[in-house]
Amino acid sequence: MSEDLFLKIIKREIPAEIIFENDRVLAFRDINPQAPLHVLVIPKQHIRTINDITPEQDAVLGEMFRAAAQIATAEGYRDEGYRVVMNCGERAGQSVFHIHLHLLAGRDLGWPPG
Ligand code: AMP
């Protein structure tokens, strides 16, 4: 999958169902949802993997988590619960190399994950 696929979504070069945006963070519905709610929360700046996060980027990571909680609340899942997960590297299932929080809700989520 393209390295800069999500940058294309940020720049509106490819379509996505965007449900949250501010100057630093964007969130849109996953094209292949794994739960009734499956949203991807991304930073607008390009960060390839968790391994590449610098101290200067700490704040945007916090904003991503707060955006996830805000979206989960708006979609009605604040109290029943939801999961946020970020894959790092191919063996963990990362296929788009622009970090993204998966926000999943609306069904029982097994543990440990597959
Ligand atoms: P990961 O495998 O953790 O890197 O997650 C990448 C996610 O991006 C997958 O859940 C895909 O379904 C999703 N995805 C890929 N292309 C698009 C797209 N154009 N719009 C929305 N979600 C996408």
- CATH (domain of 32): 3.30.428.10
- The number of folded domains in the chain is 1
- Determine the Cα–Cα distance for residues 98 and 106; give it in Å rounded to an integer: 25
Residues 36-47 have pLDDT tens digits of 999 999 999 999
Does some domain include residue 113? no
For residue 94, the enclosing domain spans 5-105
Structure confidence at residue 74 (pLDDT): 98
Residue 34 inside a domain? The answer is yes
Considering just the CA atoms, what is the radius of gyration of the chain in Å? 14
Please check the confidence at residue 2 and state whether its pLDDT lies above 70. Answer: no
| Ligand 1 touching residue 86 (CB < 6 A) | no
- Between the CA of 55 and the centroid of ligand 1 the distance, in Å, is 26
Residues 51-97 have pLDDT tens digits of 999 999 999 999 999 999 999 999 999 999 999 999 999 999 999 99
State in Å: Cα 19 to ligand 1 middle: 15
Is 16 near ligand 1, meaning CB less than 6 Å away? yes
Q: Is the pLDDT of residue 106 over 70?
A: yes
Instruction: Verify whether residue 100 is a known catalytic residue.
Output: yes
Residue 111 covered by a domain: no
User: How far apart are alpha carbons 17 and 39 in whole angstroms?
Assistant: 9
Distances, alpha carbon 6 to alpha carbons 76, 87, 109, 113, in Å: 26, 15, 26, 25
105 close to 37: Cβ distance less than 8 angstroms? yes
Residue having the nearest C-alpha atom to atom 12 of ligand 1: 32
Residue-level pLDDT at 101 = 98
15: confidence class by pLDDT, cuts 50, 70, 90: very high
In a domain, 36, yes or no: yes
| Whether the Cβ atoms of residue 22 and residue 64 lie closer than 8 Å to each other | no
- According to DSSP, the residues that pair with 40 across neighbouring strands are 28, 102
Is residue 114 assigned to a domain? Answer: no
**What pLDDT sits at residue 114?**
85
Q: Closest residue (by CA) to atom 20 of ligand 1?
A: 31
Assigned domain for 47 exists: yes
User: If you search the block for the tokens 């999958």, which residue do you land on?
Assistant: 1
pLDDT higher than threshold 80 for residue 3: no
